[in-house]
Structure formats: C-alpha cells, structure tokens
Structure 1
Amino acid sequence: MSTVSDLPEFIDVDGERIALRQVEGKSPGIVWLGGFKSDMLGTKAETLSEWAKANGHSFIRHDYSGHGESGGRFVDGTISLWLKQSLEVVRQRTSGPQILVGSSMGAWIALRMAQELHKAGEGERLGALLLLAPAPDFTAELMEPLLTEEQKRDLEEKGYFEEPSEYSPEPNVYTKALFDDGRENRVMTGLIDTHCPVHILQGMADPDVPHEHALRLVEHLPADDVTVSLIRDGDHRLSRPQDLSMMVSAVEALIARISQ
C-alpha cells in the first residue's frame, strides 16, 4: 500500500497546487474522485491503486483544493472549482478512455465531468462511470430541505455554518457559496446523457445518502446503460472487504465492456 511518505506530484490549476498520485499503465485508465472532505489516501483509492499496479492499468487520483495535500482553503471550495481541477487532471495527465470512479460528492463531480467533456468535444476521454454512494445535487436535494432556522440564519449572516463530522475530528463547514454554486451545477433536473456505461454501488444502510437518492438518479440516466448494485447492509463508506471486492469487480466488468 502507498503511504504518506510517497510524495505526491503537483500540477498548477489557476495558481493552486493540486496534489496527485499516478500509476502508469494501459487503457482504459481509472480516475479516482473523492468525496467531501476526503483525501486520496483513503481505503478505496488505495485499493484501486494496488489493483491498477497488479493489472497494468493506469490510475490517477488527486486531492481537490482545500483537501489532503493540495493547496488552498477548504472554505473557498465549490463544486465548480473542484470540477475544474478534476478536468485539468484528466486533460493534463491522462490519455485514452477513462473510468471515472466517484465516491459520494465525487460521483457528482464525475457526472458533471461527463457533461463538460462531451460539451467540449472530448467524449472519447470517457469510458465509463462507477459511482459509489453517489451524492449528486446533495446541497439542494439532501441538505437544504433539512436546514434548521439557525443554519439558514448562519448562512445568510455569517456565510457558513458548521456541524460535527462523523468522519473527522474537525467539523464540517458548509458555505453559502457551496450552496449557491451547487444549484448552478445540479444534474438531477433532466436527462444525464453520459454516452457510456454507468455502474452504481449503493448501501441500503447509508445514513448520509439514502438509497432512494441513487434510485432517483437512475431515473435521469439512460436505462440501458445503467447497472445498480444495492448492498443491503452497506454504509456510506463502502470500505469493508466485501465492499472493496464489489468495487474491484465492477471496475473489471466495466473494463471488459469497454474492451468489447
């Protein structure tokens, strides 16, 4: 497994240092897109890195600004900003079709990347999507309906609110800019034509993203290109050995489909 002592590389995106780690190999490559406040050294990303090394496929992962080893402040982050950085990583450091593996918020980034790549005439970069506990539109769909009056007031008066994190000793900070920008990046408002296979892995015991959200996402995707695997006792992390095995199997199935 990689360790923190394995130094990352950096690319510059609009003056911000974006940290990345890359495994050289054949196409289709794999691009890891992490979740909100996560970093590229998590269990799922490490598992994919080791799989890529063992099977000769290229693999790249990065930290969004304000995350992990990248520069910038977390509170300055938005979906648009992290999307732009992810697109630059793919454009600067990959060739051939890629499988975008997006976890939680990373699945939202992956769906927006698919839209932007096709809009730019770069659809050939996109081989498939693997979405793990996908949380597209989470600010508008999952958070805004549950905001307390105090949180709404903090957003308007302070520009942010905080809440304890189950995954970090530091509180989660949600800014007004994140919510405003999230509305501009919504994908579950019409058909999301990815022009490629999509596989969704979703835990039914996920306390953060209800499995109904993943099923509603499917309604916005072309049905003949989508596979959904519901894991009855799976949580939001999907990092147990059996979950990691399912993730790897899904990657292998997508590679087989792309290579047909």
Structure 2
Amino acid sequence: MNLRHASASLLLWLCAAAYVCAAEPATIERSATLADVFPAAQVQALRSVLPADQRVTWAVRLPSTSPRSVLVFVSPNAAADPPPGWDTVLDRHATVWIAARDFGNPAPSHQRVLVALMGLALARRDYVPTDARRYIGGMSGGGRIASIAATTFPQRFDGALYLAGADDFGQAEPARLAAIAANRYVFLTGDKDFNRREMRQVHQRYRKAGVPQTLLLDLPHFAHHYPGANDLERALAFLDGGAER
C-alpha cells in the first residue's frame, strides 16, 4: 500500500471512529453541593438536611438523540448506573438518566429526597430543555423515596415510576391533591414480589383519592428485581402519554 492509500485509509478509519464515538451515548459523573445547585436562600434552609459543603455524585447517562425527558432515579443501594438492557429504551424515549451514588436505603430518607431534587435541578440546568418531561423513579426502598418526592413536590414532576416499592401519600390538601392528580404514575410489581400486596393497595389508594392517570403492571413470574427492557418500555410509554391502563 502506498503512502497516499495509507493516509486515505487512516482518514477513513478516524472518521468512522469519530462517528461511533459521537453516536454512542455517554455516561458521565457529575458532582455538586447544595450551593452549586440551589440559590443561597434555599441552601440556608436546607443545610439542616444536608451539609452545605457535602459533594454529591450522580451518574448521568445522556441519550443518543436530543433529550425530551429526564428520569431521576433513586437506587436502593450505592449503585447509580442504569440496569442492564435499559440503555436502548432510554435512547428510544430520548431520556436522560440521573441517579445519585451512595444514597441507597441506609441513607436518611429526607437526604435521599433532597438529593433527588438536586439531581433534577442539575439535569434541567445542564442537560434537558425547559419543556422536557420530568420523571422520578426508584426500586424497592428507592421506589418509596420516589413516591414521597413525587407527591410532596408534585409540581416539580410530570410522572413517577415505582418499582416494587411505594408509599401512600395519605391526606393531601386540595391544591396538592390536584397537582398529584395531574401527573402520571406507574406501579410495577409481580406475583413473586414480597411487596406485591402493598403495591396493589397503594395503587388503589391513588385511584380512590382521585388520581386517574395510573398504570399497574402486575407481572407474572416477577420477583423483587429490576424489570427488563420490554416492561420498562411499557412504563415509559405510559409516562410519555400512552393510553394503556
């Protein structure tokens, strides 16, 4: 191969490699403190929940196309990356994934809620357009935290995904109940999940409270674990505005 052909081959290889790198979704690490995310007045009020100088780290996965939504995820353990097989679905829905590391079930609940709100603020500031849909989700104990955040601060979200764990929001004043009822909620459990009975009960309480846009996915042979890509697809399609009931 002469020098000209070698140079052309190298150029083609570099272009192909650059295209692959550009097309491949990136998972990055971001860290921030309260002061990096919220105004000073809010930091002053929130420092009793989380030290103002404590740095929180999130795993952020960007979709392969321009984002249309963000999913703030609360893990039951220290992990923060999307479960295996979820990447394709997140790409299909153009969803940014953001989840805090080291804020699993052992962490105080009020800190986990605050860290989820910090993650949402960070994603909205740096990664998604202002009209992007805002979701919160969680698994097991993380689902419980997601349900607390979604119904305590319903104006901050458009929907929620509860995987094998959720808490009832109890009595809510009319304004908050109206905000809760305006959003969409997916409850996912299965016949081998030890939280199945409670998940079904909490789902019914939402319905009885006048929350119409809910989806119960009660899966056969499903235990207490993350769902696969097909069931995540059903959940995100509903949150995005699908009609499944």
> TM-score, normalising length from structure 1?
0.61
| Residues 69 and 96, structure 2, Cα contact 8 Å, conserved in 1 | no
Structure 2 residue 118 is the aligned partner of structure 1 residue 133: no
**Total equivalences in the alignment:** 183
Shift of 1:65: 4.0
Q: Which residue of 1 aligns with 2:42?
A: none
Q: Which residue of 2 aligns with 1:101?
A: 137
Match of 2:57 among 8, 11, 19: 19
Q: Which residue of 1 aligns with 2:232?
A: 247
| Residues 65 and 82, structure 1, Cα contact 8 Å, conserved in 2 | no
| Residues 100 and 119, structure 2, Cα contact 8 Å, conserved in 1 | no
Structure 2 residue 171 is the aligned partner of structure 1 residue 190: yes
Shift of 1:26: 2.4
Shift of 1:56: 6.0
| Residues 129 and 199, structure 1, Cα contact 8 Å, conserved in 2 | yes
Shift of 1:203: 1.5
Amino acid at match of 1:134: G
- The structure-2 alpha-carbon separation of the partners of 1:66 and 1:247, relative to structure 1 and needing over 3 Å to count, comes to closer
Shift of 1:64: 4.7
Deviations 1:76-129 (A, max 9, x none): x211011111111101222432122221122222222223324xxxx1x41211
| Residues 104 and 132, structure 1, Cα contact 8 Å, conserved in 2 | yes
Match of 2:79 among 39, 49, 53: 39
Structure 2 residue 189 is the aligned partner of structure 1 residue 202: yes
RMSD of equivalent CA atoms: 2.8
Q: Which residue of 2 aligns with 1:48?
A: 86
Question: In structure 2, what is the Cα distance between the partners aligned to 1:22 and 1:117?
Answer: 24
Structure 2 residue 78 is the aligned partner of structure 1 residue 30: no
Match of 1:85 among 101, 109, 115: 115
| Residues 89 and 232, structure 2, Cα contact 8 Å, conserved in 1 | no
Q: Which residue of 2 aligns with 1:230?
A: 218
Q: Which residue of 2 aligns with 1:166?
A: none
Point out the structure with max Rg over C-alpha. 2
Q: Which residue of 1 aligns with 2:29?
A: 8
Percent of pairs with identical residues: 11
> TM-score, normalising length from structure 2?
0.64
Question: In structure 1, what is the Cα distance between the partners aligned to 2:55 and 2:192?
Answer: 37
Gaps of 5+ in 1: 1-5, 68-73, 137-186
Shift of 1:246: 0.9
Gaps of 5+ in 2: 1-26, 35-51, 125-129
Question: In structure 2, what is the Cα distance between the partners aligned to 1:90 and 1:50?
Answer: 22
